[in-house]
Structure 1
Amino acid sequence: MNASRVTAPAASAVGRFFSGAGLLLRGLGLYARSPRLMLLGVLPALITGLFFLAALGTLVYFVDDLAAWVTPFADGWSTTTRSLVRVIAGLALLGIGGLVGVLTFTAVTLVVGDPFYEKISEQVEQRYGGTPGEVEVPFWPSLRRSVADSLRLVGISVLVGIPLFAAGFVPVVGQTVVPVIGAAVGGWFLALELAGAPFYRRGLRLPDRRRVLKADRPTTLGFGVAVFLCFLIPLGAVLIMPAAVAGAALLTRRAFDQPIEEVRR
């Protein structure tokens, strides 16, 4: 499939953003249509989620010590100023931990539950007309590619998170603008991760994903940010994961201008 021929639609950016968020809602609709398959998709997310919940709890427990460790320059300051700086540092650490944690959780869960999520993604595509030019990829090569691509995305997100962490110390901006940027960055990388399976079925890799989804960035961000915010809700990542995989299949079809209306049989 030629990824370079994909172009962005002419609708307004705001409209496309909310349309992208709506793809997650359509993915949630599969709970009613295919409850058994979707609930099977919850199991890998639940298993992975327990480990990441423990990691998050550990971060929260030690956040004060970590905040002091990254702000040694404040040791000699007044108690009020030092406490304020370290509260800001703690919030920045939790924010970056959440960003990297959500992306890492998604990467690990997609690997652990690969057979389930591949089935969900494939069923969505079949429901809406199938995958044009589908390429059969053996399980192990597909898994290796998925792991390699996910590691790249998580690594890039860590690099992006460093300047966001530093920006978190800027008064007002760090507590208003930076979280919005963090959600947008997290949403973008989440969309890239979740769209892996439908792109592999088309014989396309990570660079193709970036190029195709970038052509309609508002829609991609709308979907990704919606997923990201849901993943921040307690147990949200576990319950939403199958719907996010389904929504990513729809996002991919839309990016290639393929039908996302159900085929009547």
Structure 2
Amino acid sequence: MNLKSHLDGLSAGSGYFWRGFPLLNLPGIRRYVAIPLIINTSLFALLIYFGAERFDELLDQSIPDWLDWLRWLLWPLFAILSLFVTFFLFSLVGNLIAAPFNSLLAEALHARLAEPTSSQDAGSRDAEWLAFFGDIAKSIVPSLLSELRKLRYLLARAIPLGLLFLIPGVNIIAPFLWLAFSAWMLAIEYADYPMGNHGLSFPEQRKYLGERRTLGFGFGGMVLLATMLPGLNFLVIPTAVAGATLLWVEQYPDARRSDA
């Protein structure tokens, strides 16, 4: 492949992330986005609330009256620390919470993309919601097992890569290798949902992504960039699932048909 082909692959891959965003507003899709987002946001709000209560108690016990002015310095530090922790842990915890929803989101989007004119009878809404929660319950264990499998793959490569930071000379390029590895892992993370829904094993998923490596790097790189943008990182997970599903449908039609 020449340089232009590599650049085209990177550009196309990064574009799939942004193309996934409007898909989240399709009828019947929003529930897969809203419910895990509400759960995740509520969890962090409760943690911050109870953390603030404990922090206030700690200040009452530790600061004498004559140093009460220190509260005006310590509370902003607590707020900054809370934002910092939320920023970096939201996606990590969100992936675990959203894992059962993500497979169903990819499945629902695939059905929409394959048959865009399909619609459901409004009279079946109650049955539809019952089926939705039933599907969530059934997908919890397989989804968590899938996340553990990806975590094992991550650790087996992240630990040796992390050691490069300790080697003089080599540590100069270690940050760039880490960014590339992070982009690749994010491509694997989100491509797993549509590919796994079509029966592809984890090695098969990596094989297909490896055949279009620059496409995967472009997609994963844009996901990585989006996680660093305050505010947007709250919607990165469902947007990445939607983008990966669109990428799967458009870029791997033969694989999709062979596994259907």
TM-score (norm 1): 0.59
For 1:1-265, list aligned pairs within 5 A: 12-31=5-24, 34=26, 37-38=29-30, 41-48=33-40, 102=91, 105-111=94-100, 114-116=103-105, 118-127=107-116, 139=135, 142-170=139-167, 174=171, 177-257=173-253
- Of the structure 1 ranges 190-199 and 115-124, higher mean CA displacement relative to structure 2 is found in 115-124
**1:250 Cα shift?**
1.6
Larger radius of gyration between Structure 1 and Structure 2: 2
**1:209 Cα shift?**
0.9
Change (3 A) 1:244 1:170: same
1:63 corresponds to which residue?
A: none
TM-score (norm 2): 0.60
Question: Structure 1 counterpart of 2:111, which letter?
Answer: E
**1:232 Cα shift?**
2.7
Please provide the CA RMSD for this pair.
4.0
**1:186 Cα shift?**
2.0
Contact 2:191 2:241 in 1 (8 A): yes
Percent pairwise identity: 25
Distance between the aligned counterparts of 2:44 and 2:170, measured in 1? Answer: 29
Contact 1:9 1:216 in 2 (8 A): no
Distance between the aligned counterparts of 1:157 and 1:199, measured in 2? Answer: 18
Contact 2:161 2:178 in 1 (8 A): yes
Equivalent residue pairs, number: 201
Change (3 A) 1:40 1:105: closer
Name stretches of at least 5 consecutive residues in structure 2 with no aligned partner. Answer: 52-83, 119-133, 255-260
Distance between the aligned counterparts of 2:44 and 2:182, measured in 1? Answer: 17
**1:189 Cα shift?**
2.0
Question: Structure 2 counterpart of 1:181, which letter?
Answer: L
Contact 2:102 2:193 in 1 (8 A): no
Distance between the aligned counterparts of 1:165 and 1:37, measured in 2? Answer: 38
